[in-house]
Each structure stands twice: as structure tokens, then as C-alpha cells.
A = this chain, B = another copy of it.
Amino acid sequence: MQDILKGLRIVEGSAFIAAPMCGMTLAQLGADVIRFDNIQGGVDYHRWPVNPDNHSFYWADLNKGKRSFAVDLKSERGRELVTALITVEGPEGGIFSTNLPAKGWLSYASLKSHREDLIQLAIIGDRHGGTALDYTVNAKVGFPNITGPDDDDRPVNHVLPAWDNIAAYMAALSILAAERHRRLTGEGQKVELSLTDCALATMGHLGFIGEMSINKEQRPRYGNHLYGALGRDFVSVDSKRMMIIAITPKQWSGLQRAGGFSAEVDTLETKLGLDFSAEGDRFIARTEICEIIERWTGSTRFEQIKTALDDNGCCWGPYQSVRELVENDIDVSEDNPIFSMVEQPHLGTYLVPGQPMSFSATERRPANPAPRLGQHTNEILADLLGLSDHEIGKLHDQGVVAG
């Protein structure tokens, strides 16, 4: 928790990853983020992983630090309240972030009629109005075909929902860009971000489209090799696996010193007529170079390899399981300032991250937990919408709000 975005308020109507993660990020940077949900919770309220009582780690971890407003979104009065919340006066408010269908009462046009300088960020599936999820987008852009062992041609889906994560931070960036514009000009706007376009743009930004368009070559599967330089996984004689990389000249000379195989490499370079100071030539000779590295790692104990790599400034890292990461890695403990032990509602106390960026102008405090569903309904109705205890009580009695 850091206070760098203090004074910003975002109302969020969201589900799943991209939109909630956008809001959670802004909340952990000090914005007041209010997520509204139906009284029984949104479609993501029990998304796995869950605990034995079906309470969701996924939901809790993606909604840390927000305030929760529980309301019957099917009722006229409930919709009026959410509209009022989104469009309440004041320079800090008037920002609505959503991946719900922004139609009817939630459309930009409708909400804008209540507040002229509204900023509305809509995350959509694709530009045609279709549904798209991380996994369908990943299939579309072609990564499953070029991921996995090169002796197996089955497509490999990713486990990290990378596109959702990327979209989340693009969305947060868009909100700050639009808020900056509003601060400078007074003008609000609608910002639209499609998950599919996030992925398509990335394919261009990383050179895949240019390479295909100009070179006309389809990049094949390279197994665990890093593309275009030298890097792969290796196993020590005591069966520890590590990723070893040499992209820069410094990393390459360091690696040769670490393994003591410069002479062997020189012989290979001469034999193949290549120039290993060029990263591309190292990639061309990757099989042969990796055999040399493998003879070293495969006959050496992990601790000895580690020392040699570290002493020579190499770029490398061991493979871990998630269990090893969570149970043994000092970087996933309170030794790392981004983490703190937090009691999450319904789930218990465990290690929870704040945002990784550290702002020197603000102090880092422990992460805030996720809200219980509707935890802040009453304070929001009173403080932001100015409702009396009596009016709030009536809304509860009528089943319009809960919490």
C-alpha cells in the first residue's frame, strides 16, 4: 500500500482478471476504488482457486484494498444508486472502470448525461463486440503452436493469463492518462480497450508481425531455447535445473569463464565459421554450444555451478515449483518489502503482495485485505451519497442494498 494516487476515486463494475486487477493496482497505489457487485456477488465470486468452504483466493487477491458496495443491479433504485456513485460531484471522482456490458444505464452516453466530465474505461473482448478470454486470444495469436518441446507438435496453452495481466496495466495506464487530460483540459472521455487488440499490438511490438511480413518465415518451435541468442535450461549432476542465458557480450564471456570452456568454444567457432560475439551466431550454433555447457553442468554439482556463475556475473536462475517458491524462497517472505501477512476475509492470514514499484515520495505500508462483500455499503451511502441512517435502513429492508 502506497499513497501516490491519493485523491483519486474509481468506481468499478467488473469481473474476472483484467478489470479487477486494474482497480486493485490503483487501490494499492492509494486510489479509493469502489467495486459494486450484485448482493450475491459477481460471476467471479467463487472462481478457483478456492478454500474448502468455496471462498475464492482469486477473488480476494484481485480485489485487495478496494471498498465493496453490494446492490441489487436489477432494481431501478439500485441502478440509480450506482449511477449516482459513478457521477457524484467533486474533482476526485467521476471515473468508471468496467468490463460489464456498458449498455443502457451503464453506457457512456447515459452516465455522461449525469456528469459531463466523466471518464469511462471499458475493457471489451474484441473490437467486433464479441467475447474473448485470455485463452481464446492466446490461441488466436499463435503462441500455443510455438510453445513446448520441439519433439512434440501439440499446441501448449499458457498457464499465466498473460493477456489479462497486460490488459490490466494498460487499463490502469489509460485511466491515469485520461485523468491527466481531464486535469489539464477539464474534458472527460470514453476509453475503450479490447483484450484481443492488446495481444495483437503486442505481436507487433515484439517484432512477430514485421518478421513474418518481411522475412516471410514462420518461426518454428525452439523448445526451451531463448530465441535469437543463447539460453536454455540445464541440469546439474545432482539434478537441479537452471536457466542459463548469454544475451550480452558480458554474459557470454562470463559464462565461458564460469564453465572453463573457452577453448572448446573457440574450436567450435572456427569449425563452424561463425562469430560467437554476435548473439545471432550463438543462436545458430545453439545445439553445439549447449552440448558444451551440458557436459559442464551435467558433471558438476549445483552449488559449484551456482558459485561459478555468480562469481562471473552470469545471468541465470534455478527452476522452482510453486511450492518451493512459496515455502522456501526468501523473496516470498516478509524479508521482501512488497509482502506482508494479511488476514483475508473468509480465507485466513497469508502472505500478500503490494505493488512492486517503490515510490520514494511515499511510504510503503502493508497491503490492505480484500473487502467482505458489501462491507462498505453503508459508509458509501452515507458519506458519498449523503443518505440518512433512515434512508439506508429502508434500502436494506427493501433488499436494494446489502452489507
Contacts and interface: CB of A to CB of B under 8 A. Distances in A.
B322 A193 contact: no
Given A204-B351, A331-B126, A338-B197, A155 B317 contact: no
A113 to B, nearest CB: 16
Contacts of A226: 135, 157
A167 to B, nearest CB: 8
A380 interface: no
A57 interface: yes
Integer count of this chain's copies in the complex: 2
Interface stretch (A82-90, A207-215, A258-266, A290-298): A207-215
A179 B106 CA distance: 31
Please classify the interface of chain A as helix (H, G, I), strand (E, B), loop, or mixed, using the class held by over half of its residues. Answer: mixed
A194 B203 CA distance: 24
Interface in A33-87: 43, 46-52, 54, 56-58, 60-62, 64
A49 B207 contact: yes
Contact of A49 (B4, B178, B197, B228): B228
Given A169-B173, A283-B48, A317-B132, A142 B201 contact: no
Contacts of A219: 49, 322
Q: Which bucket holds chain A's interface residue count?
A: 35 or more
Contacts of A54: 280
B191 A350 contact: no
Given A139-B233, A193-B357, 13 more contacts: A48-B280, A49-B219, A58-B206, A140-B317, A140-B329, A143-B160, A161-B206, A162-B165, A170-B357, A171-B357, A185-B361, A205-B353, A213-B350
Contact of A142 (B177, B193, B321, B359): B321
A237 interface: no
A212 B162 contact: no
A193 B224 CA distance: 27
Interface string A349-388: 0111111111111100000000000000000000000000
A128 to B, nearest CB: 8
A105 interface: no
A218 interface: yes
Interface in A145-161: 145-149, 152, 154-161
A127 B183 CA distance: 35
A274 interface: no
Interface string A107-133: 000000000000000000011000111
A27 to B, nearest CB: 12
A131 B246 CA distance: 12
Nearest to A120: B360
Given A142-B325, A338-B200, A61 B181 contact: no
Of all A-B residue pairs in the complex, the 6 with the closest CB atoms, nearest first, are A48-B228, A136-B317, A169-B169, A57-B207, A197-B356, A204-B353
Nearest to A128: B331
A80 to B, nearest CB: 25
A373 B303 CA distance: 43
Contacts of A319: 139-140, 142, 144-145, 155
A229 interface: yes
Interface in A1-39: 4-5, 7, 16-17, 21, 24-25, 29
Contacts of A16: 247
A207 B122 CA distance: 25
Interface string A217-245: 01100011011110101000000011101
Contacts of A184: 7
Given A156-B224, A162-B165, A280-B54, A361 B189 contact: yes
Contacts of A200: 331-332, 336, 338-339, 353, 356
